[in-house]
Amino acid sequence: MIIALKSLLKTINGCKRMKTLFEDIVLKNTKQFIFRVQELNDGSYEVIQQACRVFPDNRVEVKSEKKWHYADLAELREGEYANTRQGRMFLDDQFWIGKLA
C-alpha cells in the first residue's frame, strides 16, 4: 500500500494536470484494490479502478485496470463504475453534497 501511495504522490507532483477527488485503497492479503476519481485540467473526470497483486517483498503488480472518462459531473454521477462496491462508496461520499442540485 505504501508503494501505491508513493506512486500516487509522484503522479500528482509530477503531473499538475489532475486533481484527485476521491481515492479508496483496500488491501486483502496478497491483493490490493484501488479506486480513484480525478478531475483533469479540462474539467472532465477520469475514474480508474485497479486490481493488484502484492508480493511478499511488498512489490505491487497491476493485474487489471479499468478507466472511464466523463465530460461533466452529470455523466460522472451516472457512470458505469457505479455497480462496483468502491463506486457506490464514491457515490455516497460527501463530495456530492451541494452538487447537481
Q: Which residues neighbour 61 within 8 Å (Cβ) at sequence distance 6 or greater?
A: 52, 53, 55
Residue length, the chain?
101
Residues 3-15, mean pLDDT to the nearest whole number? 56
Residue 13 pLDDT > 90, yes or no? Answer: no
Question: E-strand spans in the chain?
Answer: 18-28, 31-40, 45-54, 60-70
Three-state secondary structure call for residue 42: coil
pLDDT level of residue 5 (50, 70, 90 thresholds): low
- Name which residue leads in pLDDT, 88 or 15: 88
Three-state secondary structure call for residue 77: helix
Tell me whether strands 60-70 and 31-40 are parallel, antiparallel or unpaired: unpaired
Residue 33 pLDDT > 80, yes or no? Answer: yes
Q: Which domains are present in the chain?
A: 2-88 (3.10.450)
- Name which residue leads in pLDDT, 23 or 5: 23
Residue 11 pLDDT > 70, yes or no? Answer: no
pLDDT at 62: 97
* 66-99 pLDDT per residue, tens: 999 999 999 999 999 999 999 999 999 998 888 7
pLDDT at 97: 87
